[in-house]
Structure 1
Amino acid sequence: MSSGLHADPPFHVAHVGSLLRPRELLEKRSQFENQQCTAAELKAAEDAAIAKIVKFQQDLGLRVVTDGELRRRFYFEGMFETLEGMTFVPNRSLDECREYLPYIQVIRAMGMTDTPSVFTTSKIKRSRGVYTEDFKFLKSLVKPEEVETLKVTIVSPIWLHLRHGSQHTYDLSVYKNDDEYFNDLIQAYCEEINELYALGCRQIQIDDPGFCFFCAQSMMDGMARAGDDHGALLMQYIAVYNAITKGRPDDLMIGVHMCRGNRMGMHYCEGGYNAVAEKMFVDLDVDCFYLEYDTDRAGDFQPLRYLPLGKVAVLGLVTTKNGTLENASDIRARVEEAVEIIAGGYPTRSREDALRQVCLSPQCGFASTVEGNPLTEEDQTKKLQLVCEVARAVWG
């Protein structure tokens, strides 16, 4: 693991990544999809919207700034569609998905029989940048000294494999086993992260609801019925992450965001972090964890006792799933509760040291999908203002 400044993070307030798409941008995207405008015109609209959203974040006082994922329809877009060897399939049968995954169960219950996905049809290779051009534009919008505050969000490397399993993730004539598949995918992720770093990116967030699915009893029961070893699968995925993050520069902060689903305000599963806490916090070689903690379905703070020295817990205490505004005093009290548990954890540490290992954010993005969550831009502003207000009260 890198051993730099991460026990004392350069921020104590953040947001997870995605922001509500402005009405004008939604209209332009609709025009593009209906062949009423060109790709260049859509990109110009995206550029203008991103410039406004960057200024919006900076004016609020946020220390971590993203492009709001305004160019994406879904948070997980980008990587798999861009890499050579991976083929987009608009209507893959749900029979080729792991049935016990919480979101697969939900979409089946909605009457769906297929879902858009990606299938690996030849050797995986990164022949061009995935998020690099987006970062270059984002970088152009800020002062040179502010580039380190910019964050890029990337889909999890385990996303497709968790969805489809070894039988349906890749053509078995291309890759004989998971090791071969992940070796090439790991190489592609490393190349992307290295180029982002060379461009000046110092904060990368990997979005991964999969880890929270391992907290859901429904999935554990389903895995047992299917004869799948959930402990072994979890450790396999942790090893994939660790191969990607191994040897990263000390000034590159890589975090993983975990939530229980966030499509238009809907969640997919429940269950606290106890089931994965020790393996996740100790064995997963990342610098910070963006944790959903806005409702009881995420459990209590006790799993935070496993947070090692040198890693950061970003507490997602403000919900993005609805417009109801939380109480600042309640949020501050929950931060103090989490700090107390971390201070008394393994190993013990002072309250001051524990406080430096904690940050505050909304629990997830405001628009994991292009439709956004059921709240207004005014609601979004108030919630981000609340996060900043509490952070100033707690950390100064």
Structure 2
Amino acid sequence: MFANTTDADSFLHINPPFRAEHIGSLLRPSYLLEQRARFQAGTCTAEELRATEDAAIAAAVKVQQSAGLQTITDGEMRRGAFYEGIFERLDGMSNLVRPIETFKAYLPYVQFFIKAGLKEVPSMYCTGRIRRPEEGVYVRDFEYLTSLVPPQDVGKLKVSVCGPTWMHLRHGPESTYDTAVYATDDAYFADLVQGYREELRALYAAGCRNIQFDDPTFAFFCADSTIKGMEKAGVDWQQLLDMYIQVYNSILQERPADLTIGLHTCRGNYQGMHYCEGGYDRIAKKLFNELRVDCYYLEYDTERAGDLEPLKNLPQSKMVVLGLVTTKTGELESIEELQDAIDEAADLIAQGSPKRSRAYALNQICISPQCGFASVAEGNPITEEEQRAKLALVVEAARKILE
């Protein structure tokens, strides 16, 4: 367990998150995409690819700094997709091309696979006991990122991590792990939880104080199509939701009070497309009150995310980062639009239980783009200039409305 821990739910975490936030991924430069293609073709070495990634990360840091952001990430330059980085590095996990039948057909993005005519999709399968590798998962990457900022800014760096539920949601217990290795979900998640705990502990020891879990899982519970599909398949969605919340809480048990944990959940962000729709109403009470994270990065850039009413469930001890600026198109939102949404959110949060002053409610709000600019390496249909303008808009709006 972590040392020197306190009850992380007893106070409001802020700075981080900062008033102007962003989710993490940035557009990959063409030279990085070209180098990765050469690596996959076997015409450049892993060391040469990493050197190119290092250069792209250094450039990404400058983009964030020039926009006025305090939160700095590596732009996910080392990943082909947001969910890469942890499962494939854990001992006991195998990266295989899986038949489409091993995916849950009721998931909106799996429906996309089926409609596209895909018969097989790469994914992970647990073939042995899960263990965190001795060299760690993200620590080396984080240490490089720390070398690019002044020492006083290391605590502002953010590491984004794929959520622990991702593979289980896609495949269910029958296709997530070999039952000769794990007989039950409880056994599988016990070792997975331990691996995540160890990684968070190592990141903390390296100076990391800001971790964001990326997990669209919870947004899929907001979609009527998913719930209907689960019910038809005989899956108790409420029990599954409870289990996923408990998995997170087990990972975060006895974490240090000065380690900020956020959860980002969205409805899909594949080259400008989304996979599902539906507001947070169905899950808001449990998500905001039972999941022991400090802040929620919520997608709110279009009507597909529903209204702001679920924010009434936000407890006094937590922050919400409103994703009001879209990354799916280059069209720039106005300060007035953002002001209206933030005003409405503050009014609703103030009406929560227990009621609180509007000033207190406003203090619980940050603003960000609704998702990353490149959840997959190909990126969204937006230019680097438009990306820069979006980031600058978030900073300007935060200064004018929230500070």
TM range (shorter): over 0.9
Query: Is this contact kept in 2: 1:9–1:312, CA < 8 A?
Result: no
Query: How far does residue 4 in structure 1 lie from its aligned partner after superposition?
Result: 5.8
Q: Partners of 2:263 and 2:33 in 1: how far apart?
A: 28
Report the residue type matching 2:263 in the other structure. V
1:93 aligns with 2:99: yes
Match of 1:176 in 2: 183
Match of 1:316 in 2: 323
1:15 aligns with 2:22: yes
Report the residue type matching 1:127 in the other structure. P
Query: Which residues in structure 2 correspond to 1:150-169 (within 5 Å)?
Result: 150-169=157-176
Q: Partners of 2:30 and 2:354 in 1: how far apart?
A: 49
Match of 1:113 in 2: 119
Query: Is this contact kept in 2: 1:7–1:309, CA < 8 A?
Result: no
Report the residue type matching 1:134 in the other structure. D
The two structures have a TM-score, normalised by structure 1, of 0.98
Q: Partners of 2:49 and 2:12 in 1: how far apart?
A: 38
Query: How far does residue 227 in structure 1 lie from its aligned partner after superposition?
Result: 1.1
Query: Is this contact kept in 2: 1:315–1:359, CA < 8 A?
Result: yes
1:68 aligns with 2:66: no
Q: Deviations over 1:312-331 (max 9, x none)?
A: 10000000111111111111
Match of 2:3 in 1: none
Paired residue total:
395
1:233 aligns with 2:257: no
- Quickly say closer, same or farther: Cα 1:70–1:8, change in 2 above 3 A: closer
Q: Partners of 2:9 and 2:307 in 1: how far apart?
A: 29
**Residue of 267, 276, 280 corresponding to 1:260:** 267
Q: Deviations over 1:20-79 (max 9, x none)?
A: 001221222222222232221111111111111112211211111100000100111111
Q: Partners of 1:388 and 1:311 in 2: how far apart?
A: 21
Q: Partners of 1:25 and 1:79 in 2: how far apart?
A: 21
Query: How far does residue 7 in structure 1 lie from its aligned partner after superposition?
Result: 4.6
Query: Is this contact kept in 2: 1:213–1:219, CA < 8 A?
Result: yes
Query: Is this contact kept in 1: 2:366–2:402, CA < 8 A?
Result: no
Q: Using the TM superposition, name which of 32-41 and 50-59 deviates more.
A: 32-41
Query: How far does residue 97 in structure 1 lie from its aligned partner after superposition?
Result: 1.3
Q: Partners of 2:240 and 2:11 in 1: how far apart?
A: 31
Match of 1:348 in 2: 355
**Residue of 71, 77, 80 corresponding to 2:84:** 77
Q: Partners of 2:220 and 2:241 in 1: how far apart?
A: 11
Query: How far does residue 3 in structure 1 lie from its aligned partner after superposition?
Result: 3.9
- Quickly say closer, same or farther: Cα 1:42–1:7, change in 2 above 3 A: closer
Report the residue type matching 1:205 in the other structure. Q
Match of 2:129 in 1: 123
The two structures have a TM-score, normalised by structure 2, of 0.96
**Residue of 369, 375, 379 corresponding to 2:382:** 375
Report the residue type matching 1:238 in the other structure. I
**Residue of 101, 104, 110 corresponding to 1:104:** 110
- Quickly say closer, same or farther: Cα 1:295–1:271, change in 2 above 3 A: same
Q: Using the TM superposition, name which of 37-46 and 181-190 deviates more.
A: 37-46
Match of 1:24 in 2: 31
Report the residue type matching 2:76 in the other structure. E
Report the residue type matching 1:145 in the other structure. Q
**Residue of 207, 215, 220 corresponding to 2:214:** 207
**Residue of 169, 193, 197 corresponding to 1:186:** 193
Match of 2:46 in 1: 39
Query: How far does residue 9 in structure 1 lie from its aligned partner after superposition?
Result: 4.1
Question: Percent identity among equivalent residues?
Answer: 54
Query: How far does residue 94 in structure 1 lie from its aligned partner after superposition?
Result: 1.2
Match of 2:4 in 1: none
> Which secondary structure state, in structure 2, belongs to the residue aligned with residue 275 of structure 1?
coil
Q: Using the TM superposition, name which of 7-16 and 99-108 deviates more.
A: 7-16
Report the residue type matching 1:313 in the other structure. V
> Which secondary structure state, in structure 2, belongs to the residue aligned with residue 250 of structure 1?
coil
1:51 aligns with 2:51: no
Give the superposed CA RMSD.
1.0
Query: How far does residue 199 in structure 1 lie from its aligned partner after superposition?
Result: 0.4
Match of 2:313 in 1: 306
Q: Partners of 1:392 and 1:298 in 2: how far apart?
A: 25
